[in-house]
Amino acid sequence: MPADRPAKCYRRFDTPSYTRKEYIRGVPGSKIVKFDYGNTKGEFPAKLSLVTLEIGQIRHNALEAARVIATKHLALNLGEMGYHLKIKAFPHQVLRENKMMAFAGADRIQDGMRRSFGKPAGTAARFRFLQTIIEVHVPADKKDVAKRALELAMAKVPMPTRIMEGKPSAA
């Protein structure tokens, strides 16, 4: 896989949703186990959001990597109770992979693309244009710390993103 186009196999989607897990056997569990971090009851006046700039999907392990780096930076600089971070997307979309064998004589064993529906390989969250991925609430004088945390998280996401600033919404 070229280094300049990470996760390009699953970034775009051109197929219908494949989300009915009650009918799908062998779906791997999501790496994201918790979606709210920090002080969930605290009142923080400043809100920064990481939003997408194009339509696409992000795998659950990329969302977890972005969450880990952002929470680590926020906890080190603001303490465990000095922020509230929320993952705004749930990876519903089941990704399938038609695994190919790569050894001598494999062409006589497998069928190639014949009946190539694939087996579940992971999950992903689908995003629209300007949809929020991660939202961070911090004290008003700590916006620069939250912005740096979201910049670190941007590096883990396989699609173009932007940091937007705004007042917290009621919901």
Angle between helices 60-78 and 143-154 (to 10 degrees): 150
Judged by phi (left if over 0) then psi (alpha if -120 to 50, else beta), residue 118 lies in left
Mean pLDDT of the chain: 83
CB 27 within 8 A of CB 123: yes
Is the pLDDT at 3 greater than 50? The verdict is: no
- For domain 31-96+116-166, the CATH class is alpha beta
CA distance to 10, 11, 137, per residue, from 62 (Å): 11, 11, 21
State the pTM of this model.
0.80
Helix (H, G, I), strand (E, B) or coil at 28: coil
pLDDT digits (tens, 9 = 90+) for 20-34: 777 777 788 788 888
In the numeric block, which tokens belong to residue 100?
A: 């190919």
Is the pLDDT at 171 greater than 60? The verdict is: no
* Residue ranges of domains in the chain: 31-96+116-166
